Amino acid sequence: MLILNQDQLANWLNQLTDTYKVFAPVKDGDHYTFKEISSGNQVTLNYTNTKVPPKEVLFPRSEKLFCYRQENEGIQLEEKIDESKKVIFGLRPCDAKGFLLLDNVFNNDKYQDPYYLNRRKNTILVGLGCNQPATTCFCTSLGGGPFASEGLDILLVDIGNRYVVEVVTEKGQELLSGLNLPAAEPEAQEAARKVKEEAALSTSINLDGLKAKLDVIFYDPIWDLIHEKCLGCAACTYSCPTCHCFDIVDEAEGKEGCRIRNWDACMFPLFTLHGSGHNPRPTGKERFRQRVMHKFKYFVDNFNAVACVGCGRCIINCPVNLDIREVLAEIQGLEVRSDKQ
């Protein structure tokens, strides 16, 4: 463990911007968001969580995959692979775990996405532990924690006017190489231990047996009830660290064009609309069921992991206060029966 004084932080970030694109939490109106910074003084670290996760640094909301141009000798392609070096600074442990879950989607036996993987390879994650988790947080129910280091390269623990620095990977060690930070003295280590001990979460969810229930309740009447509150606005999906649905379009004019990938959401009617006009998820019930099933059943089937990190953003951002913890509790309370339809 090392020690970093808070008054050293801005200078360190300034140094990093000379070599890396640095993304960090900044105040944006009445909320916080991750943006590329040009100065360490832009960063605000006294936040609970950002409105949108830093997922978009590696998986942008909209990105050009390649551009093309018709010439006499044929079609010329220009691939848009991002090779720039990046640092995501000050992200919460839940967001780091979100990247580990996205890795399953973009790097598996059937598919490797070069756009995501190049950004992932060239990005260093510097995490900031949560001294005071929000009442909507439930990361410990998903195997995480306010000070979990899984997926991070460095973890910072705020102990007042200093940070205890926990180096997790070689990439993290390399990032700190020019600072010559002193080792954390026993008093600082004890302060960090107390901060971690006091960062208790007020809520949790019970996942025991949930997958087994979801396996057999696809046609259960419960879906007729628990979806009714949902507006289908997709605020939950766009603020989720693990949602990864996208649409691909071509934007062309004349003999030139680009293929573009945009975020999409299973909560939208157009997401599953066929060219014939048929929609296999015609109402909000089917779309809400898909979201729950994907997070807590299908992702488990495919990757042996739940596609949720317990960040609570879907709870905070929902305009009708639809709480996923309550939804799962209702499902857990079911008397399970096998589907007969």
Mean pLDDT by 10 residues, the chain (341 residues): 93 95 94 95 92 96 94 87 96 97 96 96 97 94 95 96 96 92 94 92 88 96 94 96 96 93 96 95 96 98 97 96 96 67 36
User: Considering the entire predicted model, what is its pTM?
Assistant: 0.93
Task: Supply the pLDDT for residue 226.
Answer: 94
Q: Which of 163, 63, 54 is nearest to 102 (CA)?
A: 54
Decide: helix, strand or coil at residue 265.
coil
Task: Supply the pLDDT for residue 218.
Answer: 96
The structural domains of the chain, with segments of one domain joined by +, span 2-61+82-198, 210-255+262-332
Alpha carbon of 209 to those of 212, 312, 336: distances in Å?
5, 22, 11
Task: Supply the pLDDT for residue 341.
Answer: 36
Please write the tens of the pLDDT for every residue from 299-319: 999 999 999 999 999 999 999
Please write the tens of the pLDDT for every residue from 142-189: 999 999 999 999 999 999 999 999 999 999 999 998 888 999 999 999
Q: Which of 145, 22, 41 is nearest to 89 (CA)?
A: 22
Task: Supply the pLDDT for residue 200.
Answer: 80
Instruction: Report the C-alpha gap between 154 and 158 in whole angstroms.
Output: 13
Q: Which of 80, 168, 96, 185 is nearest to 139 (CA)?
A: 96
Which residues are within 8 A (CB) of 98 and not within 5 positions of it... i.e. 6 or more apart? 53, 55, 241, 242, 309, 311
Q: What are phi and psi of 126, to 5 degrees?
A: -110, 110
Task: Supply the pLDDT for residue 340.
Answer: 38
Structure tokens given for 230: 């949902």
Task: Supply the pLDDT for residue 334.
Answer: 82
Q: Name the strand (E) or helix (H) holding 74.
A: strand 74-79
